[in-house]
Chain A
């Protein structure tokens, strides 16, 4: 494993253009490992609990995320994916870092909701205004709160079972208004 990774590093240093491709291949190989069994630990960093309500609904019979191989776990040491809600209040820095470090690798981080994506709160003395600068986020799920289907799509994007769709959306609607 080590000589391979050293060669990959040397290759990426010699050809910087392929670094992004190497990173994408690595991301896909990690995601593929979790395709049929992924354990999720949720982390509330100061959210209003609306996101938690929607996350809780994922386990309800309507959405039934267990059929897709996703499971919730209360222990970060059992978790593959950290689902973070809230704007990352500064008082939570140590707890968030400990949770992330307690998870075994490879691990994924999903930012959930507009607060976590830097929308609702601006950075100030009490909050970072988003989790991007504290944790290495893999997938960002917008919404206030994101509906269970939006969360489900985000989880499936995280494990590379669905392609990202938002990249091609323009949010431009030409023609007559409705």
Chain B
């Protein structure tokens, strides 16, 4: 439970102070994955692309392209490869250009190049 909620119940004000003050309560909700390039190989990247239900992951050569806009934060990639995929904890993802949401993840794992 967010701290501002408890504090608000005590004081009678339960409104968040965001954006004047940071509020990380949204990070308790599912957030997009973050990747560890050292643990990613081509084979693993291909398996991650297959397991993604929303076409957020594609591989081109030694680069994994992650479209944060297409990601539904379902957690299937993290479940499949917990050593290579973690939770990013980012929720402030609004973009003025959809190209800003597509991230390049280099594949630096053994046997990837």
Contacts and interface: CB of A to CB of B under 8 A. Distances in A.
Interface of A: 27, 61-64, 67, 114, 117-120, 122, 132, 137-144, 146-150, 152-154, 156-158, 161-162, 164-167, 169-175, 177-178
29 contacts: A61-B14, A62-B14, A117-B70, A118-B98, A119-B69, A122-B55, A138-B96, A139-B95, A140-B94, A140-B95, A141-B93, A142-B95, A144-B71, A146-B91, A149-B25, A153-B91, A153-B93, A158-B94, A162-B19, A166-B92, A166-B94, A169-B88, A169-B93, A170-B103, A171-B34, A172-B37, A173-B86, A175-B36, A177-B86
A166 B88 CA distance: 12
B73 interface: yes
Contacts of A118: 69-70, 98
Contacts of B43: none
A157 B18 CA distance: 13
A61 B4 CA distance: 12
Contact residue range for chain B? Answer: 35 or more
A134 to B, nearest CB: 14
Q: Is the interface of B mostly helix, strand, loop or mixed?
A: loop
Contact of A149 (B14, B16, B33): B16
Contacts of A153: 19, 91-94
Contacts of A122: 55
Contacts of B68: 142, 166, 169, 171
B34 A172 contact: yes
A162 B88 CA distance: 21
Nearest to A169: B90
A166 B54 contact: no
A150 B23 CA distance: 11
Contacts of B23: 149
A167 B100 CA distance: 5
A166 B70 contact: no
Contact of B18 (A142, A143, A149, A175): A149
Nearest to B91: A150
B15 A61 contact: yes
B44 interface: no
B98 A140 contact: yes
Given A143-B73, A171-B32, A120 B54 contact: yes
A165 B100 CA distance: 10
A174 B38 contact: yes
B19 A152 contact: yes
B58 interface: no
Given A166-B92, A166-B95, A166-B100, A119 B70 contact: yes
A144 B72 contact: yes
B37 A142 contact: no
